[in-house]
Structure 1
Amino acid sequence: MSLRHTARLAARRLGVDVERFPECSSDYRLVRLLLRAGIDVVLDVGANGGQYGTMLRRFGYRGRIVSFEPLHGALETLHRCTGRDPLWRVFPYALGDRTATVTLNVAGNDGASSSVLPMLPRHVQACPGARYVGTQEAEQRRLDEVWPQAVESQERVFLKLDVQGYEESVLVGGGDRIRRCQGLQMEVSSVPLYDGGLLIDRAIELAQRRYGFTLMGMEPCFIDQRTGQVLQYDAVFMSDPSRCAKGEEAALL
């Protein structure tokens, strides 16, 4: 059972229907942040089968989406998802700190937990279905290298990372372009789940001190059902909200 489905069941037990009251959804609140900030393009790094972009569309984001996904199976699903959306573009790359051919470890949960990094036993214990089932070679690029192909001049950019512990490598590969972003979303782990993976304290330090973002919220996204411990959060950061250029009223039209 997914965390999102579990949350909906819990909300219904409390008398809250998330379908009827979308403002109760963290996805809804995220899209409100994007609209208030006047985001023109979302860089969806680690897109899998397009679930994130589909969520953005569902909750009212109508700007451009640029997805990066190197896994063959997920990429095929992603292309089907984006085929009728002229504002949604796909690149078949992994992103990292250098241009290279890398070996991806393919996870058994439809690739959702796949990573360049080795998976640690703690992750497998909490979610046995996520264990690695194979490998795949993939082309890796730097974000600052592909930026001119993905982002148009003067666009306001939101960067979303779902790269399973590899976030710092992607940020390093973005160079000074990261400071061009109006917002950043990334999964952050509270315990080591991948060998060398980014942990929550370091993630917040990077986002706030190095890039100047403000933490706007954190939502549990991976819970060890045996213990109730939250192992990963979705952390959302934005640049200073007072600097939103387009204004909330215009963005929500």
Structure 2
Amino acid sequence: MTLLHRMRNVARSFGIDIARYPASWGGPQLVQLLNRFEIDLVLDVGAHAGGYGTMLRDSGYRGRIVSFEPLGAARAELNAKAAGDPDWDVLPYALGDRTRTTAMNVAGNSGASSSVLPMLAGHRDAAPHASYTGTETVEVHRLDELWQQISTPAERVFLKLDVQGYEAHVLRGAGVYAPACTGLQIETSFVPLYEGGLLFDQALDLATGELGLSLMSVVPGFTDPRDGRMLQCDLVLFRDDETTGTRRSVAAEARA
């Protein structure tokens, strides 16, 4: 039995559970979907310390990863994890709907809940350790301004967004390239956690209605430890059509 399991057993005897924050989804299921839809490039937006990219590699994904992380401390850990991987690049930016510099709120849970948006009381009450502890000036870029630098026309792109309520801004900043994404993983909230943040129904309507994607999985997320209510989840969606093989053939010819 590991130390974590022993600690959990002791904590449970006092009516307390210890879990990762936020909850993570098993990588093999995601990589199955990435393989099914022949993803070549994962854009890891809001990469934090590199946990998502590491999970992909540990689960067998061998395509390219481009991670975006604007906060210095988290990016230092991310760079260390990506350093020995020639197919994993790191960019020091936040993404949004306009290019600028701005103050990002830095969260107390090692920066995992950091956001450009103000955190609401409901989030702080459910996770006091995630409350903001300061700000850091960061660069924000539109994704459509960077697209041709980070991808090629032949690549099939999966866009992962973990930007704490700022998802709609990132998608607006993708411009004409948003519909070009083969897949999308988007964190969303069932209740308001960040001021102006995207909620579940809005995220689902945006991804399925405007972007034409199909929902493939719902990943459990942040749960209020006081009453067990789930506050966040991730939606995993792909462009589900019958042309995947055809497009792969075209992509292969383009590379030749």
Tell me what 1:214 maps to: 214
C-alpha separation in 2, matches of 1:137 and 1:211: 31
C-alpha separation in 2, matches of 1:233 and 1:29: 16
Tell me what 2:58 maps to: 58
C-alpha separation in 2, matches of 1:127 and 1:194: 13
Alpha-carbon offset, residue 5 of structure 1: 10
Confirm or deny that 1:141 pairs with 2:141. Answer: yes
Q: What are the superposed Cα offsets for residues 37-64 of structure 1, whole Å, 9 maximum, x if unpaired? A: 1100000000001000000001110000
Confirm or deny that 1:172 pairs with 2:172. Answer: yes
Question: Which letter does structure 2 place at the counterpart of 1:33?
Answer: L
Tell me what 2:87 maps to: 87
Tell me what 2:30 maps to: 30
Confirm or deny that 1:2 pairs with 2:19. Answer: yes
Tell me what 1:233 maps to: 233
* TM-score, length basis structure 2: 0.87
Q: What are the superposed Cα offsets for residues 86-132 of structure 1, whole Å, 9 maximum, x if unpaired? A: 00001100000000111100000010000000000100111111000
Figure out how many residues of one structure are paired with residues of the other and give that number.
Answer: 230
Whose radius of gyration is greater, 1 or 2? Answer: 2
Question: What pairs up with 1:195-210 in 2 under 5 angstroms?
Answer: 195-210=195-210
Question: Which letter does structure 2 place at the counterpart of 1:155?
Answer: E
Instruction: Identify if the C-alpha distance between structure 1 residues 229 and 178 changes in structure 2 by more than 3 Å, giving closer, same or farther.
Output: same
In structure 1, the gaps of 5 or more residues are 8-24, 248-253
Indicate the RMSD between aligned Cα atoms, in angstroms: 1.6
C-alpha separation in 2, matches of 1:60 and 1:178: 26
Instruction: Identify if the C-alpha distance between structure 1 residues 4 and 121 changes in structure 2 by more than 3 Å, giving closer, same or farther.
Output: closer
C-alpha separation in 2, matches of 1:6 and 1:221: 5
Identity score, percent: 54
Q: What are the superposed Cα offsets for residues 58-85 of structure 1, whole Å, 9 maximum, x if unpaired? A: 1110000000000000011111010000
Question: Which letter does structure 2 place at the counterpart of 1:119?
Answer: M
Alpha-carbon offset, residue 224 of structure 1: 0.4
Alpha-carbon offset, residue 241 of structure 1: 4.7
Confirm or deny that 1:44 pairs with 2:44. Answer: yes
SS of the residue corresponding to residue 215 of structure 1 reads strand
C-alpha separation in 1, matches of 2:160 and 2:50: 13
* TM-score, length basis structure 1: 0.88
Which of structure 1's runs of 4+ aligned residues deviate more than 4 A?
A: 3-7
C-alpha separation in 2, matches of 1:46 and 1:174: 15
Alpha-carbon offset, residue 150 of structure 1: 1.0
Instruction: Identify if the C-alpha distance between structure 1 residues 6 and 185 changes in structure 2 by more than 3 Å, giving closer, same or farther.
Output: closer
Q: What are the superposed Cα offsets for residues 6-40 of structure 1, whole Å, 9 maximum, x if unpaired? A: 89xxxxxxxxxxxxxxxxx6321111000111100
In structure 2, the gaps of 5 or more residues are 1-17, 250-256
C-alpha separation in 2, matches of 1:61 and 1:232: 25
Tell me what 1:104 maps to: 104
